[in-house]
Structure 1
Amino acid sequence: MTDILSPERIAGFCRPAAQQVAVKIVDETGSTNADLLAALPRLTTPTLLIARTQTAGRGRAGRSWLSEAGKSLTFSLAWKFNAPVQSLIGLPLAVGVAIAEALAMFNVSVRLKWPNDVLYQGRKLAGVLIESASAGHVPHEASWAVIGIGINMTVNEQLAAQIGRPVASIPWLAELDQDMLMATLLNALSDALVQFEHEGLGAFTQRWNALHAYTGQAVVILDRGQVLQEGVAVGVDGIGRFVLDTASGRTAIMAGDVSLRVKEN
């Protein structure tokens, strides 16, 4: 991995929507999401926080996100929306599309797994954790989203064993100019967040479904390890629910503490 990761170089590669973002880099922290959530009362502009090493990374539903310095990208983006928190439903899907479209610029073809995973060759390449908070004196007028993203690049056997589930590894990503890679991701995310605020999830559902990893496959939806639903995966609807065809008809699942798995024969 290049040792640069320079705020100035990243900003130099940014398009207009991303140029408003303050870029900060720290050598080590517990969680970039936790840091930005704590800083929200003081933020006056969208802020990207990148950690070279993250020691207490968090995933969805309280899970840990394990990573090693120089072998993954771990960062969070705090973004203010002129809309209430409730309007951010479906934002993880838009973020997944943005990540996929950014990686495609480096000829990395990924697929999306509902509600917030990015897969490469069937294994998890990236995860997204979004935490939101009301902003301003009148809570319903505006909101902040802190978008945490972890992207695996080089995963050795020891780290894979710690993670305990299949994870993707694309070692050559770590050899790219990391400032260029980070700016490409920031450009895609910034453009997507502007579009999401103005057009909503509807601008992303067709793009997400085109990238869906499991269209037409038999899947199960698990809630705390118990089967909640099973059927054939269709995709997502206009409000971000996962749609599947079951024995009793078509149904839609709203994201919560649920997991999607391919059904074993």
Structure 2
Amino acid sequence: MALRPWGSSRTEASSGILGCRVHVFDEVPSTQDVALELAAAGAPEGTVVLAKAQTKGRGRTGRAWLSTPGGGLWFSVLLRPGLAYPASAMLPVAVGFGTVLGLRRLGVPAGLKWPNDVFSRGKKLAGVIVEGRSSGGRLTVAVAGIGINWTVPDLPDARHGVTGVAAELTAAFAAPAGDLPSPALPDPEDVLSAVLAHVERSYLVLRAAGPGPFVSLWPSVSAHFGRPCVVTRGRGEGLAEVVLTGRLLSDGRLSVLGLDGGVRALHSAEVGLGLN
């Protein structure tokens, strides 16, 4: 079942920081590009750009993100964090935390695959990309793009299983015969509201308390803490290595244990991680 259509292009306001202004478009090349243009024009922090479809949606490391009408929620959020390292390096993880917790609030059994992919029952459900501008050693502008599948996308060449919110909630709400009917699926506005609310909380925690809370909560939010995973170099074309994943470090890197018994830290700009 496709996501119910949004209204025509418009601007709305919200009571929170994120979503103070929401721009909705029928189709754009990328919500990231629109949000970056709005940032350069002085748009306030919390501005959201949402599109029914993207023709050039992108994920981390430049991969294309399938963004069809009715297939999901495709939006970007403008932030003006002013964060210095290492808190600035934790921002993508913090946005991932908020996305996971917002989906869990709706009943989706979501978990975060380092650094910022959202999985449910071993399949990819959503992705996060954060692009920013720095000045004077601080991250002054950041645009967080979030893509959440509603239906299961047709990706025959995907390196991992894929899923959507509708499929995950249908499975979560499934009841034995004779029980009460399953709850209705949420409206798209409810999904957006839940995710934005939890991303905002995570963002404010990062600004106020730094990376510490995310390091502490990593085991409960991670989709793979303490589990074997596969590490690949670059965009996944290199040799694969099985590691045991461990704790999150304060600069957003991931500690892993190799088969040789050595412990090292992975950097998201250098490697990819696949669930084993």
Task: State the TM-score, normalized to the length of structure 2.
Answer: 0.82
Q: CA deviation at 1:42?
A: 1.1
Q: SS of the counterpart of 2:155?
A: helix
Q: CA deviation at 1:130?
A: 0.5
Q: Call closer, same or farther: CA 1:80–1:257 in 2, change over 3 Å.
A: same
Q: Call closer, same or farther: CA 1:142–1:231 in 2, change over 3 Å.
A: closer
Q: Are residues 1:213 and 2:223 paired?
A: yes
Q: SS of the counterpart of 1:238?
A: coil
Distance 1:228 1:90 in 2: 25
Q: Which moved more, 1:52-61 or 1:79-88?
A: 79-88
Aligned with residue 245 of structure 1, among 242, 257, 272? 257
Distance 1:142 1:95 in 2: 15
Instruction: Give 2:190's aligned residue.
Output: 180
Instruction: Give 2:44's aligned residue.
Output: 45
Structure 2: which 5+ residue stretches go unaligned?
Answer: 170-183
Instruction: Give 1:259's aligned residue.
Output: 272
Instruction: Give 1:98's aligned residue.
Output: 98
Instruction: Give 1:26's aligned residue.
Output: 25
Instruction: Give 2:107's aligned residue.
Output: 107
Aligned with residue 166 of structure 2, among 145, 150, 171? 171
Distance 2:141 2:61 in 1: 20
Q: CA deviation at 1:113?
A: 0.7
If each structure's strand is expressed as a fraction of its own residues, which one has the higher value?
1
Q: Are residues 1:3 and 2:2 paired?
A: no
If each structure's helix is expressed as a fraction of its own residues, which one has the higher value?
1
Distance 1:216 1:4 in 2: 40
Q: Which letter maps to 2:271?
A: V
Q: Is the 8 A contact 2:87 2:251 kept in 1?
A: no
Q: Is the 8 A contact 1:234 1:245 kept in 2?
A: yes
Q: CA deviation at 1:84?
A: 4.2
Q: Is the 8 A contact 1:17 1:191 kept in 2?
A: no
Q: Call closer, same or farther: CA 1:262–1:27 in 2, change over 3 Å.
A: closer
Q: Is the 8 A contact 2:86 2:251 kept in 1?
A: no
Distance 1:34 1:214 in 2: 32
Q: SS of the counterpart of 1:96?
A: helix
Q: Which letter maps to 1:167?
A: V
Q: Which letter maps to 2:229?
A: V
Q: Which letter maps to 2:163?
A: A
Q: Which letter maps to 2:217?
A: R
Task: Give the aligned CA root-mean-square deviation in angstroms.
Answer: 2.4
Higher relative contact order (CA 8 A, sep 6+): 1
Q: Is the 8 A contact 1:97 1:207 kept in 2?
A: no
Distance 2:84 2:217 in 1: 24
Q: Which moved more, 1:192-201 or 1:109-118?
A: 192-201
- Aligned-residue sequence identity (percent) comes to 29
